[in-house]
Amino acid sequence: MGLTARIRTRDGWAVSHAVVTVTDMTGVQVLRAEADTEGAVRDTTPLTPGAYTVIVTAVGYAPAASSAIVTASGRAEVGTVTLARQGGTELPPPGPWTVDPAHSSVAAVAQHLGISSVRGRFTDFAATVEIAPDDVTKSRVEAVIKAASIDTGNGMRDTHLRSPDFLDVERFPEITYRSTGVSEAGPDRWTVRGELALHGVVREVGLDLAYLGTGADPWGGTRAAFRATTELHREDFAMNYNQIVQAGIAAIGTTLRVELDVQAVQGESLPAV
């Protein structure tokens, strides 16, 4: 006898400590129970047979209401109740996530000669994501990129990019990003605001972030996937070098499109594999 229910997010995660309230048809509360860390409710309070309304609430989620019928045994099996993030937006479960560099990429694309693009990537970086439990807009992102790890597939070009004309890696060996705020931009989409330190200059940079979902990995962990993009202007970071070729066309464009494809593993560190 009593009430049983499972509280989950849209992608199947347990909503721990959700509150389940049961009222009769007159609106009188007859039961109130809290979900455990697995998102399960198992309350043994006997209920009089009949029809009831079940309301599930949790901080950061939109309330959900459903009807339940209590049988002659005094039991109500509500089943799985799915809660949506407040505002309809989704993110992974709260807590720390560690970016897996082996399955992530940090790339930048620049126009070349006005007719094509050159793509480069950084091969040495580390980052963490902290999803806030009560207010997802307080979630945080921090990243450190080794500037000398730039790789465009051309050794001579990479050497030039590491020089004082561009990244000046001897003086500024690290590129860092620390978020200052997160705001909703639509279902599964977010805007991350933060401070980017590049080439000795710190400027606020926004990331357009898409949350792609979560899933189990072959090593027993849980992964979340994100994609983020932004545009940077080289002159904003005191990288003004350029070579003008025919017809006044710059050899290298001044705008960089940054593309991040990220897999993060749940927890404060990466598991041994």
User: pLDDT tens per residue, the chain (273 residues)?
Assistant: 678 899 988 767 778 778 999 998 888 998 899 998 888 998 888 888 989 999 999 876 788 998 888 888 888 888 899 887 665 556 788 899 999 999 999 999 886 544 457 889 999 999 999 998 878 889 999 999 999 999 999 999 899 899 998 899 999 999 999 999 999 887 678 899 999 999 999 999 999 998 887 877 777 888 888 999 999 998 899 887 774 444 443 456 678 899 999 999 999 887 665
Structural domains in the chain, sorted by start: 2-84 (2.60.40.10), 95-266 (2.40.128.110)
| Cβ atoms of 185 and 90 closer than 8 Å | no
What span, in angstroms and rounded, lies between the C-alpha atoms of 107 and 260? 6
pTM equals 0.69
